[in-house]
Structure 1
């Protein structure tokens, strides 16, 4: 049987490669750090940035996509929450797309280019608070670009942050809560266990004070039936906390688990059995408010969390405890959630 000459050549190349690799490893081990960096620079054309980690970056050839990926890694290293990283990176991608479309290179970026972009964003029909959040994201990205020497100046320091407009924070009254529970008990379902799931969502909001992303991330493994508690992991600011639920919610969770036959992974699921999305969750709550006749302009999913805080206050729970249950680092943040009214002032003196 005749040997294939191509196979023999491949084997020879492989043997030669192994010999070269072994020799190179010996040579590298004998080089000083300075000589190794110099050799690496001349062979690869890479720019070496000396710091505590001796990071090596192919700076001259880095694409705008690579930079946004690097920015994402940077944000995660700063212990930013996943939702924050997602929002900031999305805005950085839009900004880099604008730069690419206008054929602007990062090194030649001028403040006038940034102003032009911000002006185009401001001309859209967005609220002052949305624009203020947008500005914070852009400033963060520009600071990152400047510190990594992708742009020549600190444009972030030249951008002012517009003042936020304090929005009216709504909470649900006890009558609102009764109306919603009555509505969910009698509503005709679009699919199996829809009403039970929505009742659980509603109760998790007003009795446990969950944030939007906490609803979405919640798994069955986070529920401790023995302790009647929920372990909320990696929430805003990458913090963990424990909240407790009452007997009514406990029974709802038991029934929902039994009927669905789900014991692991996502607790709250959409119509097709997948983990609920941000948009679907908001639509569920909006529908509940409208169809139960409790709708008001400023009622949102977050109003459930405000209702939770206010109900705790009315029970006489002290501010530090409420703050801890909400997962706040500062008491003045918790103060926003408390709705002191005229009746409270009367009670204080009468």
Structure 2
């Protein structure tokens, strides 16, 4: 089973071109699946797997207290794995074909209101190169809605201030071009002139746009620490995630009349149904405003 799993992971990297985190998620899910098949079901071959064994595995996960979201992710991983094995003729049947994913309740993304966004964006101070960098990052996230992984993946050649756009590579290595506004362009320009060079040593050249104190590419964990600190300093009590500014970007665009397809393209969503979740957010916010301000609400 180990060899088949290695072949599948290689396929995801080379042919599908999936993001590193996605591949790690597949690998983690399928390692627990194959381990269960060997140790609990006493199976030595993936060709011996039947629908019942997969259902038993999902029951095993449920008994461990795993959420519906986790179960659904495992089902997707298992299904993709068995489909791959069948295409490669490593097995003669697909036991996952009639396995249904658990129903998920789609929770509405948490967003900041305009005042909270302004407060957060004003939190970093241009008193040193760290503040200059942090200001540029937050302005860019809110201006473009890019993911944090795309933000830290930016290289010097991806930011075009004269033309007013950034080029980023998202999930599945899909490239997209996103316009940036004046406020973000000014913050990025100031970072390039006054901040970035102070992170670099004379001997060290780095193509990454945003750098850490070692002069290397900023990591996702590094950004997360910065965001938590800035949220605390801004006095924002909402629980923020690295995706909060992305959610706020999409919601505020739709609230101000942006076309859903345009927002989908800027966010890099493959399916418009993913983008439609933000229309529910705007309706919920409208209801809150009505309840708060209408005299007979």
Q: 1:268-323: per-residue Cα shift (whole Å, max 9, x none)?
A: 233433323333333333333344222324x3222211211222234433333222
Q: CA RMSD in A?
A: 3.0
- Tell me how far 1:161 sits from its aligned partner: 0.1
The equivalent residue for 1:157 is: 97
The match for 1:306 among 247, 257, 262 is 247
The equivalent residue for 1:90 is: 28
The match for 1:249 among 164, 181, 184 is 184
The equivalent residue for 2:6 is: 69
CA separation of 1:252/1:92 partners in 2, compared to 1, >3 Å: closer, same or farther?
same
The equivalent residue for 1:132 is: 72
Q: Aligned partners of 2:86 and 2:44: how far apart in 1? A: 14
Q: 1:22-51: per-residue Cα shift (whole Å, max 9, x none)?
A: xxxxxxxxxxxxxxxxxxxxxxxxxxxxxx
Structure 1 residue 327 corresponds to structure 2 residue 261? no
Q: What TM-score comes out, normalization by structure 2 length?
A: 0.79
Q: Aligned partners of 1:201 and 1:122: how far apart in 2? A: 40
Q: What secondary structure does 1:183 align onto? A: coil
Q: What TM-score comes out, normalization by structure 1 length?
A: 0.68
The equivalent residue for 2:207 is: 265
Q: 1:89-124: per-residue Cα shift (whole Å, max 9, x none)?
A: 332233334445556312444444434433333333
- Tell me how far 1:230 sits from its aligned partner: 0.3
CA separation of 1:73/1:247 partners in 2, compared to 1, >3 Å: closer, same or farther?
same
Q: Which has the larger radius of gyration?
A: 1
Alignment of 1:18-97 (within 5 A): 64-76=1-13, 79-83=16-20, 84-97=22-35
Q: Aligned partners of 1:134 and 1:156: how far apart in 2? A: 11
The match for 1:195 among 131, 135, 159 is 131
The equivalent residue for 1:10 is: none
Q: Is the 8 A contact 1:109 1:151 kept in 2?
A: no
The match for 1:105 among 37, 44, 49 is 44
Q: Aligned partners of 2:31 and 2:43: how far apart in 1? A: 14
**Count of residue correspondences:** 277
The equivalent residue for 2:145 is: 209
CA separation of 1:295/1:205 partners in 2, compared to 1, >3 Å: closer, same or farther?
farther
Moved more, 126-135 or 164-173: 126-135
Q: Aligned partners of 1:88 and 1:249: how far apart in 2? A: 36
